[in-house]
Amino acid sequence: MKELLPTLQAWRAEGADIGRAIVVRTFGSAPRPEGAVLLTTADGRIAGSVSGGCVEGAAAEEIEHARATGRSRVIRYGISDEQAWDVGLACGGTIDVLVEPAVSDIVAAAAERSARDEGAAVVTVLPGDSPPAAFALHEPGEGAPPQPPLIVHDDGRLQGTLGSGELDGALVGMALDSLRRGTSRTVEVGGRQLFIEAYPVRPRIVIVGAVQAAVSLVAFARQLGWATVVVDGRAAFATPERFPDVDRLVVGWPDEVADEIGLGPNDAVAVLTHDVKFDEPAIVEALRRSCRYVGAVGSRKTQADRRARLLAAGVDPAELARLRGPIGLDLGGRAPAETALAIIAEVVAERYEGSGRPMRELASERAREKQASPSG
């Protein structure tokens, strides 16, 4: 939804009547993930996509029906491999799509706040009439009038309630997890199906050490939509000429500028200095502030010596176990850009809880598991 924010704002400024469809569940090789959005106006304009092309027309018609009835509903679309090929996709899948007669002010405000680095999750109680799988061949139920969404802010505050402290607490935990990962999903709480629509703050990577690999790491991170900060105590290295695209360039000691840059749990920290007086204070501060990812360069011996010194200095062993060292995935390359690629790959894998294993291995493993299952 965030990528459609400029369009949404422009249409709302015109006073357009805007409905939407949003993917709330996926099964198999679905072409778009949970949270993918299609917007339509009453005068026929369309923006976004829920399927990459194969069910957009059907979804747009369902939005028009929802607009006429004032009711929301969940519709399941089965996209066969043949239909997928017809519209230029590699494979099919099944998606559940929530169709809403209008874009709520709460959703629009959450998207706008997220663009200002104020994270929140919008929680929608799903209508209970999701039909069986088909490709727009079913007659779905009439759905239900939209309910006001709940909001979970990234500091854990909940606006609205599910009716009990226990249920509210469970929902807040799930919503904060979705915000941390930056992904939307459907969950079940208290027997109700709830769609958590994540609008996280922009993730940030803090790079300690203005070395050559940091130049490429900034470029990769920006391509992925991450904010970037480079910190180095050496003014000759931390220059705008070397880092023209970095969001923030700070000359100083990493532990001393932590407050200045607001170092915190939303940050990934990559320590690239190869210098004890820089890297160890940076590691300690990043661990102390619960940064989501903390990695540092260095050989096995360097890592072992570093860990021994940090333990002797009083760093908690459980906290130190979070340190990724040597930093990055094993891609085999040693050039600065290749090192940067290995680092950003591990950072992304941490965010989405990916294994870092080849997709070929995972596909073969899942195929074997499917064949071994009773229903396979």
Same domain (yes/no): 67, 191 = yes
Residue 348 lies in a domain: yes
Pairing of strands 267-271, 293-296: parallel
Same domain (yes/no): 28, 171 = yes
Q: What is d(CA 301, CA 313) in angstroms, rounded to the nearest whole number?
A: 18
Same domain (yes/no): 134, 267 = no
Same domain (yes/no): 212, 174 = no
**More confident site: 284 or 116:** 284
Q: Where does a domain end: 165, 199, 233? A: 199
Across the chain, what does the average pLDDT equal?
86
Q: Where does a domain end: 152, 170, 199? A: 199
Same domain (yes/no): 52, 102 = yes
Same domain (yes/no): 214, 346 = yes
Report the pLDDT averaged over residues 68-85: 75
Residue 372 lies in a domain: no
- pLDDT of 275 reads 85
Burial-class residue 112 by CB neighbours within 10 Å (0-12, 13-18, 19+). Answer: middle
Q: Number of structural domains, the chain? A: 2
Same domain (yes/no): 180, 245 = no
pLDDT in tens, 335-367: 999 999 999 999 999 988 888 888 888 778 777
- pLDDT of 134 reads 36
Residue 357 lies in a domain: no
* Parent domain of 252: 204-352
Same domain (yes/no): 48, 138 = yes
Same domain (yes/no): 179, 219 = no
Burial-class residue 83 by CB neighbours within 10 Å (0-12, 13-18, 19+). Answer: middle
Same domain (yes/no): 28, 63 = yes
- Reply yes or no: is the peptide bond before residue 244 cis, omega within 30 of 0: no
Residue 363 lies in a domain: no
Q: Write the CATH number for 329.
A: 3.40.50.720
pLDDT in tens, 204-216: 999 999 999 999 9
- pLDDT of 362 reads 79
Q: What are the E-state strand segments in 233-349?
A: 248-251, 267-271, 293-296, 323-324
Residue 368 lies in a domain: no
Residue 361 lies in a domain: no
Same domain (yes/no): 219, 347 = yes
Provide φ and ψ at 70, rounded to 5°: 75, 20
Residue 364 lies in a domain: no
Same domain (yes/no): 108, 228 = no
Nearest to 227 by CA among 237, 235, 236, 217: 217
Give the DSSP letter of residue 211.
Answer: -
